Structure formats: structure tokens, C-alpha cells
A and B are shown apart, each in its own frame.
Chain A
């Protein structure tokens, strides 16, 4: 199967690989997926006092599309408000990376990782976790 140029670009030069201090109350961490399924994503956001995401990092165990989806997600997250980050939809990722149908689950995982990271941040800071309307699984 041929990968799109954008997937190859993100895979070859992944943006924002790394680790933020998960004990910090300014950092939200989302860990989604399962090793048995062949993909695990860890996505982290750092949020400032104005609710703006100032930094985002990821580490992913998975195929090229999973790595590219998480790399793209971190790129999009930086500079966004937490509220706007909540609005990122997996289909935006599918479109941007031209993912084929068999790889749509990679984008779903990235969206789940974003939401999990935001909820982790909210809970850490005394807010209620946002109840996710749709479950992809």
C-alpha cells in the first residue's frame, strides 16, 4: 500500500516527539490504544494560565499512519485554546493525511488521545472531565 506524501513526511520527520513532565499540573497526558492492537499513542499537552496549549509532545507505537496522525495532532494543538482543541475531529486528520479507509482507526486514536490529554488536564485542575458523546470503539 502506498502512503501519501504527507504521511511519509510526518513519519520521516515527526514533529514534537518527546515527553513532558506528567506530574506537572499544567500538563495533560493521554495514553490510548493497546499493544495487542498494534498501536499505542501517548499525547501530552502543556497549558498556560489563559487556557492556551503552549506545547504538545507525542510518542507512538504503531504503523506509519498512526505515527503521522499523532505528529500532525501535536502540530495542530500548539497555540490552540483547550476549547478549540476539543473540536479537532478525526476526519480532519483523515483528510489532511489522505488516509485510506483501513487507516481511519489511526486518526480515531489521535482524536481519542487529544481528548484524553485534555480530560487529564481538567481533572488535575479540579474540573469535571468532559463526557465524550461518541465512542469510537
Chain B
């Protein structure tokens, strides 16, 4: 067992050695530009890209012509939202998204607002899921796009994608999903789910950083997005720029491996996740955040009341995890995702996200449990809030000096 233990697989995943192996030839011997149509160097590179396009398409039930390679999910989200807004502005100017989306989606929506678009940011229920009735009530004749993420990066909840897509389509809007955390972890099928645009990233599924894709539906309906990058008209005119051939080959390989191993991996990971959660919620005043029935197999987000997340992480230095606390940010604002579940600020400050992954072992999980338990216990012994709680003092009755 190597220390520190990596349990931050929602931030990024280590590359699978099989992915690296597939990529290596494309750095030197197969270095060609995939757009060079007139010599074998270009053909070889193009072949690698074409094969990767098939691998990506297959994982999400798409066809290869529907895959646009990008630099990652942030670019894909931007291209989808800004590109749809620009392409369909004659039809309407309203976009619906949710408050728990990734910043790439939220900030792309803010950009659209600056361009004169209207955006509705749906609240979520206490369990992190979008309320379908609230979504339907927000739909208007002007709504051109509904953008709701597949699985949440902080709490792992899986949205009712099929139902959301159906509502969007009922009102003539397109449905887009940021599926960065879901693709490669759980089955995602653009046909069965009714997805018109989907953003994904390689480095969240054991592929390289700096490469991702946007799925753009070609049939029923044929969806178009206005390019956000001008240039040589690569990727069917939707994303100019010389293709990142080694990255794309890596993304393809990562998708192929995920397709083959996802099912058994999900069973193993949810088993480990449950083991971790069960052992940690034995601690008094610890709470699992988000819906526990509809969620990704590898994420556990737990609040340990009366200890502060950043201080806790410091005591857990043998573990690489993340916290909803934002003591380092100038605003001192805790996670907006946790707050939107209705969590009080102090519980949001007390949260730790454990992100398990393909290379996480049972031994590592057990060690993580021990480290976490010790850290929580030690910090509670140092916490004035814990002492007051133990004395039966209602913390809400105290007039805190907000600073």
C-alpha cells in the first residue's frame, strides 16, 4: 500500500497503463496531422482518430459521425451551450439548467445571459435531484435547451435523465447533459436516454488530460452547434484546431476499457463505497450527503458535524480527498452544491468527498476509514462546538459574530 492514498477520483483519475500504451506510438512514429490527406503520415494519424471515434461512440450508443473531439468537458459544455444558443436564437432565447451544475455549465450560461439570453437555474431537492414538476413548470415556448448533468461531481447523485429529456422534447427543446462523471462509470446511452448533446472527458475515466468530446445528435433531430473556435473547419466545422491525436487515441482506448469493465467495476466500487460509508457513519453525528439510491458507484460525500473540513483534511494527510469547505477561498463560502441541498453552512464546511477508483483496494479503504475516524475524533476533542453539543447546548441559541 502506497501512502498517500488517492481517493480523489472525481477530480481526476490516474491513467490506465493500457491507455498509455495505446497512445505512445502517436507521439513519435505516428506523429502525422490527421488532416493531412495527401500522405501516409496523415492517413495513419487519421486512422487512429477514426478508430477512437468509433470507440467513444460505441460506449455511449452513438455513431462515430456524432462525436466532436474537444480539449475536455469544459470546452464541450461551452461549445454545446453557447453553440446551441447561437444556432437556435431565432427559435428562442431561454435555457434551463440547475444550480448544482459544474461551473463550466453555469458560467457558460452566465455568458449566454450577457448575450441577451434568459437562463433558469432550477433548484434541487434535498437529495440533490431535480424536481421534474419544477422543470416542467419552467419550460416555455422560448426554451431551446435544457442542460442537466448526468452524475454530480461532488455528491455523485444521478439525475432522472430519461424523464428530463422527455420533458425537454415535449416542449420542443433540445436536451444536453454534462456526463463527465457518469460516462465510463455507469451505462449511458444517448438513444435510450434521449440525449441530444453530451459532454465527456478522458481524464475522469483513466484517460489523458486535455481531451474530451461532445456528442451532437445527427438524426431525430439533427442538431447543430455554432463553432466557438474559428479556423480550419475540423470536426465537421464545429471545432477547428489540429486534432490532439495521441489524446484522442487515449480517450478511445479509455472508452473501450470502460465499456468492457464498467459493469464489474461498478459492483466492486459500490461495494467498497458502502464499506467505507458503513464504517464512517458509525461515528456520531456523521451524515451522508445526497440521494443514496440514485448515485454513481464510486462517490461518498460525508459530513462530520462539529469538525471543519479543511482542518480535517490536514489531519488526514495520508489521504488525498477533497472537502466542501472553502476556507482557502477569499469568500469563505462552502460548496454551492452542498448548500443547494439545503445543508446548513456548518455541515457543508464539515464535508469530505471520497472518490474511489479503478485502482482503489479494499486495504486502502480500510486504512482510510481508520485515518478518518482518528482524525475526526481528535479534532472533535479540540472543537468547542463538539463540547457544547455534548453539554446539550443548542448551537442555534448562540448569537454568533458572523465575520
Where the two chains meet, the residues of A that have a C-beta atom closer than 8 Å to any C-beta of B are: 1, 3, 11, 14, 17, 19, 31-42, 59-67, 102-103, 105, 108-109, 136-137
**Considering the chains assembled together, what is the distance between the CA atoms of A11 and B334 in angstroms?**
22
Query: Which of A1, A32, A35, A137 has a CB less than 8 Å from the CB of B385?
Result: A35
Residues on the A chain within 8 Å of B349, using CB: 35-36, 38
User: Are A37 and B311 CB-contacts (below 8 A) given A59-B387, A61-B383?
Assistant: no
Where the two chains meet, the residues of B that have a C-beta atom closer than 8 Å to any C-beta of A are: 306-311, 314-315, 325-330, 332, 334, 344-346, 349, 381-387, 395, 398, 400-403
Asked if B384 and A38 sit within 8 Å, CB to CB, the answer is no
Asked if A37 and B402 sit within 8 Å, CB to CB, the answer is yes
**Considering the chains assembled together, what is the distance between the CA atoms of A1 and B310 in angstroms?**
11
**Considering the chains assembled together, what is the distance between the CA atoms of A108 and B345 in angstroms?**
21
Asked if B401 and A34 sit within 8 Å, CB to CB, the answer is yes
Beyond the given A61-B383, A63-B325, A137-B401, please list 20 additional residue pairs across the A-B interface where CB-CB is below 8 A. A11-B311, A17-B382, A33-B401, A33-B403, A34-B400, A36-B344, A36-B402, A37-B403, A38-B308, A38-B325, A38-B346, A42-B384, A59-B387, A62-B311, A63-B314, A64-B314, A65-B327, A105-B332, A108-B403, A137-B403
Asked if A136 and B403 sit within 8 Å, CB to CB, the answer is yes
Report the minimum CB–CB distance from A10 to chain B (whole Å): 11
Asked if B306 and A61 sit within 8 Å, CB to CB, the answer is yes
Residues on the B chain within 8 Å of A41, using CB: 384
Asked if B327 and A33 sit within 8 Å, CB to CB, the answer is no
Nearest neighbor of B402 in chain A, beta-carbon distance? A34
**Considering the chains assembled together, what is the distance between the CA atoms of A72 and B328 in angstroms?**
20
Asked if B400 and A61 sit within 8 Å, CB to CB, the answer is no
Residues on the A chain within 8 Å of B332, using CB: 37-38, 105
Report the minimum CB–CB distance from A17 to chain B (whole Å): 5
Residues on the A chain within 8 Å of B383, using CB: 59-61
Asked if B400 and A33 sit within 8 Å, CB to CB, the answer is yes
Asked if A102 and B311 sit within 8 Å, CB to CB, the answer is no
Asked if B327 and A19 sit within 8 Å, CB to CB, the answer is no
Report the minimum CB–CB distance from B87 to chain A (whole Å): 41
Query: Which of B311, B398, B403 has a CB less than 8 Å from the CB of A63?
Result: B311
**Considering the chains assembled together, what is the distance between the CA atoms of A92 and B387 in angstroms?**
29
Asked if A102 and B402 sit within 8 Å, CB to CB, the answer is no
Residues on the A chain within 8 Å of B345, using CB: 35-38
Asked if B384 and A63 sit within 8 Å, CB to CB, the answer is no
Asked if B314 and A3 sit within 8 Å, CB to CB, the answer is yes
Residues on the B chain within 8 Å of A11, using CB: 311, 314-315
**Considering the chains assembled together, what is the distance between the CA atoms of A109 and B308 in angstroms?**
15
Query: Which of B306, B310, B329, B400 has a CB less than 8 Å from the CB of A64?
Result: B310
Report the minimum CB–CB distance from A60 to chain B (whole Å): 6
> Most chain-A CB neighbours within 10 Å: which of B327, B344, B383, B398?
B327
Query: Which of B326, B327, B398 has a CB less than 8 Å from the CB of A39?
Result: B327
**Considering the chains assembled together, what is the distance between the CA atoms of A40 and B349 in angstroms?**
12
**Considering the chains assembled together, what is the distance between the CA atoms of A96 and B192 in angstroms?**
61
Asked if A66 and B403 sit within 8 Å, CB to CB, the answer is no
**Considering the chains assembled together, what is the distance between the CA atoms of A113 and B281 in angstroms?**
33
Nearest neighbor of A32 in chain B, beta-carbon distance? B401
Residues on the B chain within 8 Å of A39, using CB: 308, 327
User: Are A35 and B346 CB-contacts (below 8 A) given A59-B387, A105-B403?
Assistant: yes
Residues on the B chain within 8 Å of A63, using CB: 308, 310-311, 314, 325, 327-328
Residues on the A chain within 8 Å of B381, using CB: 17
User: Are A59 and B384 CB-contacts (below 8 A) given A35-B345, A35-B395, A102-B329?
Assistant: yes
> Most chain-A CB neighbours within 10 Å: which of B308, B334, B381?
B308
Report the minimum CB–CB distance from A113 to chain B (whole Å): 10
Residues on the A chain within 8 Å of B314, using CB: 3, 11, 63-64
Report the minimum CB–CB distance from B326 to chain A (whole Å): 8
Asked if A31 and B384 sit within 8 Å, CB to CB, the answer is yes
Nearest neighbor of A1 in chain B, beta-carbon distance? B328
**Considering the chains assembled together, what is the distance between the CA atoms of A91 and B346 in angstroms?**
27
Report the minimum CB–CB distance from A80 to chain B (whole Å): 22
Residues on the A chain within 8 Å of B325, using CB: 38, 63
Query: Which of A19, A32, A108, A109 has a CB less than 8 Å from the CB of B387?
Result: A19
User: Are A34 and B384 CB-contacts (below 8 A) given A3-B314, A63-B314, A64-B310?
Assistant: no
Asked if A62 and B400 sit within 8 Å, CB to CB, the answer is no
Chosen A-B contacts, 11 in total, with CB atoms closer than 8 Å, are A33-B401, A35-B344, A36-B349, A38-B308, A40-B384, A42-B384, A59-B382, A61-B308, A61-B384, A63-B314, A109-B403
Residues on the A chain within 8 Å of B306, using CB: 61
Asked if A67 and B402 sit within 8 Å, CB to CB, the answer is no
Residues on the B chain within 8 Å of A42, using CB: 384
**Considering the chains assembled together, what is the distance between the CA atoms of A11 and B387 in angstroms?**
19
